[in-house]
Copies of this chain bind each other. A is one copy, B any other.
Amino acid sequence: MPDETTSSEIVVEPAPCPAWLPDGALAAVGRRRVAVAGPPDDEVLVTVRREAERATSAHGGAVVDPDDSPDILLEASSVLDSSSNGRNEDQVSTLDVGSGFRLVRDGGRVTVAAATATALLHGWFHVVRLGEAAFAGPDADERHAPAFALRVLDHWDNVDVHPVMGQVERGYSGGSIFYDAGRVREDLSRVTTYARLLAATGIDRVCINNVNVHAREARLLTDDLPEVARVAGALRPYGVRTHLAVSFAAPMTLGGLPTSDPLDDGVRAWWRAAADRVWATIPDFGGFVVKADSEGQPGPFAYGRDHADGANLLAEAVAPHGGVVHWRAFVYDHTQDWRDRSTDRARAAYDHFAPLDGRFAENVVVQVKHGPMDFQTREPVSPVLAAMPGSRLALELQVTQEYTGQQRHACYLAPWWSENLGFRPWGHGDDDGVAVRDLVAPGGIAAVSNVGDDRFWTGHPLAQANLYAFGRLAWDPTLDPAAILDEWIGLTFAGPEGAVEPRVREVLHAVLDDSWRTYESYTAPLGVGFMVRPGHHYGPDVDGYEYTPWGTYHFADRDGIGVDRTRATGTGFTGQYPAPWRDVYEDVATCPDELLLFFHHVPYTHVLHSGVTVVQHVYDTHFAGVDRVREAIAAWESLDGRVPSDVDARVRERLAEQLRSAVEWRDQLNTYFFRKSGIPDAHGRTIF
């Protein structure tokens, strides 16, 4: 049995891939003389110095004294000192936007100055991203600051492996990088590596556990605080602060109180004591994230209280420490009766939260999903974002590809996020209108992470681009998605000397630039949403949610499809928008094609602005979508040998699955609509 010996070989787990920080990406800075100045005992400044040492030792430069004519001078605490006057540092970074850096280029030499070492670190990675261009331009004096002070990545990681949802809920990248075997990992070095990747994008806060807080995970707030402190310690060197998702029922489940009523004095005292313990253990702790009265999670409704009462309870507890409460607006009836066509899940967040505007404490951030449903490939922007001028709102995005291919399909989401951030609820006025990105500036941005212990971090290596792009948009939401992708390519595929082969750049753009629209084209059409298989949400099942309690219906019959959300004849959801959108969406003649079925129930023979009927649009886009996947595969295969072989192998495997799945989507959708409508494809293509 000669084959048996192979099974006894020890398999060495390969190190995680360097993502967008391979050594080659540091070539331009690493070739230079770098000086670091600032408080010597600052933990993050030590990191900045180590980064400089790492880069220069790899590429032949050197770390020198500030007065030894450095090519790059990195200075902490020299330009923005005054802004933190009278407040402690935690409060500055929690509540202020002023956490940027100044970049001066003077005769080819670069100086980066910042008030804090963390901001300096972000400046350092800015120079890394620029590469040689940082030194080549004309003299300049620029100030860079993040658009959003709060840039949070939410991990839906469980400590235990949940029997249904796994270790990482909606995770497609293996297990958690934080937890293993029911506890915080012994070795957290990968967490620090992760923090480094985040710092290089600008993300500076991480919530380390699932918003669905199960019994085991609830204890992170109490018994396991020392373990949470270890995680915070692993994130801290890169200036990343730790948040926890907590259960609204914690006073009962952890504290043994008879109630969790937010107006009960005992409950208030319990939360204050809990917060005191957290900050005593982790002085730079960020705050709490809460999913309440949502999909079975406990909340204030049980006590006849509202979400302002609930959020303010926690806000009061964390306020003395400069902490923040992210309170999710994802509240709806998940036990709806499909027979009841008057109830509309899309209305729910607005109906629950808009009336509470002005009642939330200053350190509450109401975290609003970008669309009124649930991270679909296409939805209108949530009207909640325009309805709460007296509240701090955060925009919630989903980096993990729950509904967008689960990191088996290449689907670059930055164009979709950019559309949402740039949406102008009041239209284009004289001043070009206020955009979502302006509305959420006080509350910032949050997203569900796509990272796990997979060696490529994100399962699909190309899904790294989504995490990178989220961080960059969190810093500057006006960035062009294609430009961000170009940055990501330049870093990720940098050769040893920092250069990227033009063909690699070209192919990655070809595969990713329009991949979100490609994904849209072969999945649920015209904004109708869902049509995924219930439970795991991968692959098609047109009627899968049609008769369920989840409020996600398409109402297809033999004549037509779509949800009538008009004020005139439907659920009235259009009325939640200000003008002009309340009228644009209301009228089938002006409603954009891509959202037609979200707002209207129309016959299959309805002619779109594009000139084809709804049913022909389904056929056309589904055939075209598969063709585009085939083109992406051909493009990728033309790269032969130009990307690392392990990346190549994984991408090829994923592309093959994407094609299989896209064909399945195409055939199921086309067959479903053909069987229902009886209308054949105008071009006679195969429908089963």
A residues bordering B, Cβ < 8 Å?
1, 3-4, 163, 258, 338-339, 535, 540-544, 547, 556-559, 664, 667-668, 671-672, 674-678, 688
Contact = CB atoms under 8 A, between A and B. Distances in A.
B540 A676 contact: no
A541 B258 CA distance: 41
A214 B542 CA distance: 33
A675 B542 contact: no
Contacts of A558: 558, 675-678
Nearest to A533: B534
A258 B3 contact: yes
A558 B541 CA distance: 18
Contacts of A556: 675
Which interface residue of A163, A543, A678 has the most chain B CB atoms within 10 A? A543
Nearest to A663: B339
B339 A688 contact: yes
Contacts of A664: 547
Contacts of A4: 258
22 contacts: A1-B258, A3-B258, A4-B258, A338-B688, A339-B667, A339-B671, A339-B688, A535-B535, A541-B543, A541-B544, A543-B543, A543-B544, A543-B672, A544-B544, A547-B668, A547-B671, A547-B672, A556-B675, A557-B674, A557-B676, A558-B676, A558-B678
Given A1-B258, A258-B1, A678 B339 contact: no
A338 B670 CA distance: 13
A165 to B, nearest CB: 12
B678 A557 contact: yes
Closest 9 CB pairs of A and B: A557-B675, A543-B543, A339-B688, A558-B558, A547-B668, A558-B678, A1-B258, A558-B676, A163-B163
Counting every copy of the chain, the complex holds 2
Contacts of A542: 543
Given A543-B544, A558-B675, 16 more contacts: A3-B258, A4-B258, A163-B163, A339-B667, A339-B688, A535-B535, A541-B543, A541-B547, A542-B543, A544-B544, A556-B675, A557-B675, A557-B676, A558-B558, A558-B677, A676-B676
From A4, A163, A557, A664, name the one whose CB has the most chain B CB atoms within 10 angstroms.
Answer: A557
Nearest to A542: B543
A671 B558 CA distance: 12
B678 A559 contact: yes
Contacts of A1: 258
A557 B557 CA distance: 11
A265 B286 CA distance: 67
A556 B558 CA distance: 12
Contacts of A339: 667, 671, 688
A678 B560 CA distance: 11
A511 to B, nearest CB: 28
Determine which residue in A1, A558, A667 has the highest number of CB atoms from chain B within 10 A of its CB, and name it: A558
A672 B543 CA distance: 10
A668 B258 CA distance: 42
A663 to B, nearest CB: 10
A391 to B, nearest CB: 36
Contacts of A671: 339, 547
A1 to B, nearest CB: 5
A535 B164 CA distance: 13
A499 to B, nearest CB: 46
A680 to B, nearest CB: 12
A546 to B, nearest CB: 8
Nearest to A669: B547
Nearest to A4: B258
A543 B671 CA distance: 12
A1 B258 CA distance: 7
A428 B374 CA distance: 61
Nearest to A688: B339
Nearest to A543: B543
A4 B258 CA distance: 9
Contacts of A675: 556-558, 676
Contacts of A544: 541, 543-544
Nearest to A668: B547
Contacts of A667: 339
A219 to B, nearest CB: 20
Contacts of A676: 557-558, 675-676
Nearest to A540: B547
A548 to B, nearest CB: 9
A4 B338 CA distance: 40
Contacts of A338: 688
Contacts of A540: 547
A619 to B, nearest CB: 16
Contacts of A258: 1, 3-4
A453 B676 CA distance: 46
A617 B304 CA distance: 48
A659 to B, nearest CB: 15
A256 B153 CA distance: 47
A623 to B, nearest CB: 15
A558 B556 CA distance: 12
A258 B559 CA distance: 59
Contacts of A3: 258
Contacts of A547: 540-541, 664, 668, 671-672
Interface centre among A3, A339, A677, A678 (most CB of B within 10 A): A339
Contacts of A557: 674-676, 678
A688 B559 CA distance: 15
Nearest to A674: B557
A26 to B, nearest CB: 44
Of the listed residues A541, A547, A664, A672, the one surrounded by the most CB atoms of chain B closer than 10 A to its CB is: A547
A618 to B, nearest CB: 15
A685 to B, nearest CB: 14
A672 B540 CA distance: 18
A297 to B, nearest CB: 23
Q: Name the residue in A4, A674, A688 with the highest tally of chain B Cβ atoms < 10 Å from its Cβ.
A: A688
A523 to B, nearest CB: 14
